[in-house]
Amino acid sequence: MMTDHPVTTTDRPPAEQTTGLTDRHAFRWTDITVYLGFVLVFGFFALTLHDKGFLSAQNATSIVSQVTPIALMAFGAVFVLTAGEIDLSIGSVVAMSALFTALGLRHFGLPAGIAFGLLTGVGAGLLNGLLIVGLRVPSFLITLGTMQLFSGIAQMSTQLQDVPIVNGTYTTLFGSGTVGPLSDAVVWLVIGFIVAQIAYRNLAFGWRVMATGSSGASARALGVNTRRVRISVMMISSCTAALAGMLYAGEVQGAVYTLGSSDLLTVLAGVVIGGTSLFGGQGSIPGALLGSILMAMIVNGLVLMGATVQQQIVVQGLIIVAAVAVSQRQPAE
């Protein structure tokens, strides 16, 4: 599959064709990096670890549980990066939404718990977006600040204590239930993928996001409200992080302020390996999904191999460098 979001010159209104986001149908190795990487890594582990459980259903369940929150955040990150922004605060939103959900469940029951979690995402994203647009400060700097702010709020909300979740309906809905042999997280993954792909690929919103990230001035000249787009992508990102936090809470059956703290780089690595540009203008939802699975699969395979922590870190680093060397390579000067 090619990088799925260069805009064609035929399926958009004429005005949209002048943004320079055209004619990217030529085959590029960079577009298939993630698919190639996925096949290579999967093939390698399938061959070397077939007798160590790599291909078992139980292992697939483990990978799905691990991938789902990361992939959901990766879908959000595709929108953000395509719009030329970045969101460093997602890990803190994960913790905040998980804790607020757990507190909502504790004090007010299931509907409130779910609402608290989702509203956390909406609120955090709205704040990020308004600050970026209103203060005209780069998203990197704003979200660097809100990352700390949200983390602090998460820590203060329970005085650093973890909050157990004993609501069986909640945990069954969010990650602890099963669908066949797999965790029900896979349902969230599939729904998240379909919604993200349609919004990104088939709705005008997806094009506006790309136009904003490709050239804000051109997009504005074409009537795109880039401020609204930038606020929207920050909200999408935070909402996916909030959903990830709710899934973590359901899977772990509790929430603690450290949830999500190591997710940011994993998410970004999955997204850029999947072909989304760090400089805005183009991206790929399927690429982000495959990139996220690839990241989880690498860790999974290395753990099954019995690799030490240090070996895992080195191998992951090498694979990321190799993948981005292909997928993110810049034209020669």
The residues of the shown chain that bind another protein, judged by CB under 8 A, are 52-53, 56, 58-59, 61-62, 65-66, 88, 91, 106, 144, 147-148, 155, 159-166, 176, 183, 251-254, 256-258, 261-266, 299-300, 303-304, 306, 308-310, 313
Q: Within the chain, how many helices (H) and strands (E) appear?
A: 13, 4
Q: Cα(147)–Cα(140) distance, rounded to whole angstroms? A: 10
Taking the CA of residue 199 as centre, how many other CA atoms within 13 Å lie in the half-sphere pointing to its CB? 17
* Per-residue DSSP letter, 203: S
Runs of H (alpha helix) within 83-202: 90-108, 110-135, 139-157, 168-171, 185-197
Q: Please say which residue, 28 or 106, places its beta carbon nearer to another protein.
A: 106
Angle between helices 57-82 and 226-252 (to 10 degrees): 160
Q: Please say which residue, 36 or 299, places its beta carbon nearer to another protein.
A: 299
- We find the least distance from the C-beta atom of residue 324 to another protein, in angstroms, to be 15
Q: Cα(250)–Cα(176) distance, rounded to whole angstroms? A: 6
- We find the least distance from the C-beta atom of residue 219 to another protein, in angstroms, to be 28
Task: Give the bridge partners for 179, in sequence order.
Answer: 182
Q: Please say which residue, 29 or 44, places its beta carbon nearer to another protein.
A: 44
Q: Please say which residue, 1 or 166, places its beta carbon nearer to another protein.
A: 166
**116-146: b or e for each residue (b if 16 or more CB lie within 10 Å)?**
bbbbbbebbbebbbbbbbeeeeebeebbeeb
Q: Please say which residue, 30 or 253, places its beta carbon nearer to another protein.
A: 253
* Per-residue DSSP letter, 55: T
- We find the least distance from the C-beta atom of residue 250 to another protein, in angstroms, to be 10
Q: Please say which residue, 30 or 261, places its beta carbon nearer to another protein.
A: 261
Q: Please say which residue, 147 or 211, places its beta carbon nearer to another protein.
A: 147
- We find the least distance from the C-beta atom of residue 313 to another protein, in angstroms, to be 8
Q: Cα(168)–Cα(176) distance, rounded to whole angstroms? A: 9
- We find the least distance from the C-beta atom of residue 187 to another protein, in angstroms, to be 15
- We find the least distance from the C-beta atom of residue 101 to another protein, in angstroms, to be 14
- We find the least distance from the C-beta atom of residue 244 to another protein, in angstroms, to be 12
